[in-house]
Amino acid sequence: MIILYILLHLIAGLGILAHFEAVRKRAELAGLAVLTGMGVHTVMVYFMELLHINLTSGSVLGGMIVISLFCHIGYKKSLALFQHILKSPFDAKIYEIPFILMGLYLVYISSWRAYYLPVTPYDAIVGMDMVAKYAAKEGHIISSAFTHPNLSGHIQNQMFYAPFTTFSQLLYRLAGHTIGQTWLGVVCGAFFLWFYGKTRSITHPVIAGICTFLLIAIPEMYAYSFMFLTDYSTAVFFGAGVVYFYTATQDGTLKTLILSALMFGFSVWSRSDSIVFIPFGALVIFIISRKIGMKEALFRAGAFSAIPAVFFTLWNILFFQLLPRVPQNQIGENAGNIGSLLVAYSDIINKLVLNEIYYGYAFMILFLWFILSLIVTRSLKGWEVSVWVLILFIGFGLIVNIFTAASIDNTIKRGFFKFFPVIYFYIAISPLSQQISGWMYRLEGLKSST
Amino acid sequence: MSKQRNLNPQKPKGSGDSQTTLISPIAGQVILTLISAFAILILLKLPRHQENWWSRVSKYYEEIPQQKKNMGEEQRMQSRHGGNYMIPKIIAQNLKPDDIFLLPPKEYVQKNEQNPNNWSNPYVFYYMNSEVKTCAFTNETLRPQATKALIYDKKGGIQLVELKNDSIRNQIITLYQAK
C-alpha cells in the first residue's frame, strides 16, 4: 500500500510539475513530485470533508487515483515531460556513490523509525494524531476529538495546527498504518532526493553531496524526520519555496515564481505561522521586479502572496468556521512592544543561533562561508537566497513577540528547521562554491559551462 | 568523456573555456571519489556531529534487529509509551460501562510515579482510550458524579477506588490536592 501511495503522490506531483519547466532534472523532479503529490492529496482530504464525503480507506484511495489522473488534464505538457525524462541521459558519477550510500543509510533509519515507532510527541498525541485517529475511525475530520464530553472544558491548540501533517497521517492510517508516522519517512526520503538532485544540477555533485550530508546531519532536525510534528514538513516546503524563489529570480519567469509560491503555500498548509514570512518575500520580489515595471512588480508580489494566503484562508478562516471549537485569541500582551521584541531577538541568538547541540555547524558554516566567499570572490551572488536567512530571523522574533503560545525553547527551536535547507542551498550556490565547483569539473576534464 | 553538463547561469568565471587538465579524467574522478569518502569521514568525526547525532544514528541502527522481532502493535505501544498506554488500558479493563472515572491532577501523578507520565491529561487519556467516560479533575460540575478513581500504593502500584459516597470522594479529592 505504501508503494501505491508513493506512486500516486508521484503521478499527481508530476502532473503539476509538468507545467513548471524549472523542474526538469530527474532526481529533483521525482523528489519534488512526491512532496507536491502529498500536498495535493491532503488538499483533496480537505475538500472531501467539506463535501461531507465519508473518509474511508476506499474513498480516499479512489479519490487519490482520480485526483492523480486529474492532475494530468493538461496531458500535452505531461507527455512532453515524460519524453524529456526518457531522453535525459543518466549522468551519475562514481564519486557520488559515497554520498548516495550514506544518504540511503540515513533515510533508511529515519523511515524505519517513522514506520516502527508509535506517535510519541505530546503535541501530536493531543493534537494532529488525535484528529487523524478519530477521523480515520469515524470518517470525518470533525469527529468526537472535537466534541466528546470527556474533553469539554479543555482546548488543545495543537488540534488546530495546519492540516498537511494531520491529513497525511490520516491518509496513512487509512492505508493500514495505525501505528507510527510512515508518511514522514516518505517526506524525508523525497526531501533529500529533491535537495541533492537540485543542488547537483547547480553545483558540482561533490559539493552538493557535502551540503546534503550537512543538512541531514543536523541533530535536532534529523530527530524530527521520524517524530510527528509539523516543523519538519514545514521546513521542507519552505526550503523548496526559497529554492524556486531563487530559480525564479534567475530565469525571471512568473511561472517559476508561482511554483515557489505554491511551495510556500504548502509550507503554510503544514504550519500556519509560516505566513509571517511571506510579506517579506513579496517585498523582495517587488524590489527585484521593479525594473520590469511598477505594475508588473506589484502583480508579481501579489501573485506570490496570494497562493499562501489561499492556503491560510482555507484552513484558518474557512475551516475554523465549521469547527465546533476553535482556540482563543493568541495575540500576546507584549505584541508590538519594541523592548520585548529586542529581548526576543537576543534570546533567539543566545539560546538557539549560538547553541552547540541542536543544529550542528550550520550557522557557523554559513557565517564563515559568507565572509570567505565575499573576500575571495568579491561577489554577493546568491543574495536572493541568503536574504531569506535574514527574513527568517526577523520573522521568528515577530512570532515570539506576537503569539502567546510561541516559546523559544519549543516553537522557535523547531521552527529553526526552516533555516537549514536555505543555509545549505546558499552554501551550494555561493560564488565561492561555484569557483570550487569549476575546479572540480576541470579535474575530471569537464567544462562547467552550458 | 568531455560531455558537457548543463549548469544554471551561476557558472564560475573563467572556468568554462579551457579543457586542459594535468591528469586524465578517470584519475580526476578517482580523486573526487576519495575526496567524497574523506569528506564524509571528516564530517562524521566532528564533535558536534559525532556526539549529538552520529552516536545516536548508530544506536538506532543497532536497535533495528531487535525491533523487527517485536512487531506487534501492543508491544510497540507498550515499549514506547509505558504508563501512558498501560494505565488507561488497565483502567478500561476494570470499569463498568456506566462508570465515570475521575482523572487525577497532574501533580498527584508526578508525585507518585518514578517516570511521571501524562496519561491523566483528558486528551492523552482520550487518545489512548475513548471507551472510558472520564471527568477531568478541574471539572467541578461533573466531579460529584464520578464513580471510580485511582490511587497509588506505597510501592508505586495502582489501585482503583470506588467512589461510593461523598465521604470517600472528598477523601480522594483531599489526597489529590495534598502538597
pTM over 0.90: yes
Any residues with CB less than 8 A from the CB of A317 and at least 6 apart, and which?
A: none
A-chain residue closest to B8, CA distance: A202
A-chain residue closest to B60, CA distance: A109
At residue B16, the pLDDT reads 43
Nearest CA-CA distance, residue A441 and chain B, Å: 9
Q: Are A122 and B116 in contact (CB under 8 A)?
A: no
Q: Measure CB to CB from residue A109 to each of B17, B60, B125 and give the nearest one.
A: B60
At residue B21, the pLDDT reads 56
| CB within 8 Å: A443 and B23 | yes
Q: Measure CB to CB from residue A117 to each of B6, B11, B80 and give the nearest one.
A: B80
Is some CB atom of chain B closer than 8 A to the CB atom of A320? no
Q: What is the ipTM of this complex?
A: 0.91
Please list every residue in chain A whose beta carbon sits closer than 8 Å to the beta carbon of residue B127: 125-126, 129-130, 133
According to DSSP, the β-strands at B158-162 and B148-152 are: antiparallel
According to DSSP, the β-strands at B100-102 and B133-135 are: parallel
pLDDT band at B9 (very low <50, low <70, confident <90, very high): very low
Q: Which of helix, strand or coil describes residue A45?
A: helix
How does pLDDT run across A66-79, given as a tens digit for each residue? 999 999 998 899 99
**Rounded Cα–Cα distance for residues B19 and B17 (Å):** 7
At residue B22, the pLDDT reads 66
At residue A332, the pLDDT reads 81
pLDDT tens track of chain A, all 450 residues?
899 999 999 999 999 999 999 999 999 999 999 999 999 999 999 999 999 999 999 999 999 999 999 999 988 999 999 999 999 888 889 999 999 999 999 999 999 999 999 999 999 999 999 999 999 999 999 999 999 999 987 778 889 988 999 999 999 999 999 999 999 999 999 999 999 999 999 999 999 999 999 999 999 999 999 999 999 999 999 999 999 999 999 999 999 999 999 999 999 999 999 999 999 999 999 999 999 999 999 999 999 999 999 999 999 999 999 998 888 777 888 888 899 999 999 999 999 999 999 999 999 999 999 999 999 999 999 999 999 999 999 999 999 999 888 899 999 999 999 999 999 999 999 999 999 999 999 998 887 643
| Residue carrying the nine cell digits 565575499 | A374
| Residue carrying the nine cell digits 514506520 | A115
For the ranges A35-49, B72-86, B151-165, which has the lowest average pLDDT? B151-165
**Rounded Cα–Cα distance for residues B54 and A223 (Å):** 11
At residue A404, the pLDDT reads 85
A-chain residue closest to B15, CA distance: A438
Q: What is the 3-state secondary structure (H, E, C) of A222-254?
A: HHCCCCCCCHHHHHHHHHHHHHHHHHHHHHCCH
At residue A71, the pLDDT reads 96
| CB within 8 Å: B53 and A360 | yes
A337: left (phi over 0), alpha (psi -120 to 50) or beta: beta
How does pLDDT run across A265-287, given as a tens digit for each residue? 999 999 999 999 999 999 999 99
